[in-house]
Amino acid sequence: MAAAPTSHQLAAGAPWSSLPRGGFRALTDSAPASVRFSVGRRRAARLEVKAAGNIFGDYFQVATYGESHGGGVGCVISGCPPRIPLTEEDMQGDLDRRRPGQSRITTPRKETDTCKILSGTYEGMTTGTPIHVLVPNTDQRGGDYTEMAKAYRPSHADLTYDLKYGVRSVQGGGRSSARETIGRVAAGAVAKKILKLKCGVEILAFVSKVHQVVLPEDAVDYEALTLDQIESNICRCPDPEYAQKMIDAIDKVRINGNSIGGVVTCIARNVPRGLGSPVFDKLEALLAKAMLSLPASKGFEIGSGFAGTDLTGSEHNDEFYMDEAGNVRTRTNRSGGVQVFILAPALLLQCSFSILKIRSMTLDC
């Protein structure tokens, strides 16, 4: 006669639920090695939504923080080399350029955007530790957004935040506000200083289009362009004639309570060769990620961009030549300073021209 099942055995036809706690594992442990297997306790799946995505970069890493109508905004910079001269004044110039309320064609919010370095420097020099930069919000007007609690704004992130997190910052859009870019500007000022000191890199950006007013390509000498030319008018277009046309276009819609978009062109001179890595870390791919993460940006081009599809391959190719110093250069720059060379078995992303040209489009001036 068969023996009754022990606490570690299961009778034929009996439900698995009748097995004592831990009995199934004990049952498998007592089985022959050829059929033995391990089973852990199954846990109920739980969906967690994490608000990540606030950090950009690998070696020079920037984390931005803060909200439009909170106590302040800023950034934490990790990876800055030690012994770099750095004070608030190095950042304040660029922060003043993005500051709201500068002219009639910008947002009317009044902020001084005065920055304060809280860590990472000693006696005007970087220490190599994380640099914490804070810019307090001084013109918080939460009452201006009372209606936003009742309705979602078109083409804003209000609905998106509610759907994803179940909560949103009604006052000014929170993290989706353009004030988030203050941390980027402060970190960018530090990065520009390092690149200038170490490599002689120069980076400039200007408005090249507002609505239907387009600055012609030949109106700008990319080799000779200066910051003074860009800063000569409130639209920051280096050509005075087209700058006025852009300002007039903005004024025309502004008085009707409307807005229009534009395009910013950025150039980087004296960029070292060999920046970037194959496939997902190509320089142009990283630049696109950074630019398209800006609020309201909807397009990114490098070099000829989408217009390159109007040319044949032979027309679009950048022909190589040797300059007087023996350096390999290109006669044109349709690739925007970034080319992929096939060096079997890997790809190398290489800046092969002295000017890197980028365009980024925004939908709101």
pLDDT score, position 49: 67
Supply the range of the domain harboring residue 306: 200-364
DSSP β-bridge partners for residue 109: none
Last residue of a domain, one of 199, 226, 250: 199
pLDDT score, position 235: 94
CATH of residue 286: 3.60.150.10
Whether residue 304 sits in one domain with residue 165: no
Domain assignment present for 233: yes
Q: Which two tokens stand for residue 99?
A: 């500051």
Whether residue 182 sits in one domain with residue 244: no
Cα–Cα distance, 20 to 43 (Å, whole number): 18
Domain assignment present for 21: no
Whether residue 314 sits in one domain with residue 223: yes
Whether residue 275 sits in one domain with residue 192: no
Whether residue 58 sits in one domain with residue 189: yes
Domain assignment present for 39: no
Pairing of strands 297-302, 320-322: unpaired
Domain assignment present for 16: no
Whether residue 206 sits in one domain with residue 172: no
Domain assignment present for 56: yes
Last residue of a domain, one of 149, 180, 199: 199
pLDDT score, position 350: 32
Q: How many CB atoms lie within 10 A of CB 112?
A: 14
Last residue of a domain, one of 146, 180, 199: 199
Torsional sign, CA 284, 98, 72, 76 = positive
Number of domains in the chain: 2
Whether residue 86 sits in one domain with residue 208: no
pLDDT digits (tens, 9 = 90+) for 275-291: 888 889 988 899 999 99
Whether residue 225 sits in one domain with residue 127: no
Domain assignment present for 239: yes
Whether residue 277 sits in one domain with residue 231: yes
State how far the alpha carbon of 135 is from the alpha carbons of 84, 114, 139, 174, in Å: 22, 6, 12, 15
Q: For tokens 């000779």, what's the residue?
A: 224
Torsional sign, CA 239, 241, 247, 253 = negative
Whether residue 256 sits in one domain with residue 107: no
Domain assignment present for 114: yes
Domain assignment present for 65: yes
DSSP β-bridge partners for residue 332: none
Average pLDDT, 10 consecutive residues per value, the chain (365 residues) = 48 49 47 50 60 89 91 96 97 92 79 94 97 90 70 86 82 83 97 95 93 94 94 95 96 91 91 86 91 90 89 91 88 83 30 48 43
Whether residue 214 sits in one domain with residue 353: yes
pLDDT score, position 354: 41
Whether residue 204 sits in one domain with residue 193: no
State how far the alpha carbon of 114 is from the alpha carbons of 21, 95, 98, 269, 338, in Å: 63, 8, 12, 29, 36
pTM of structure: 0.77
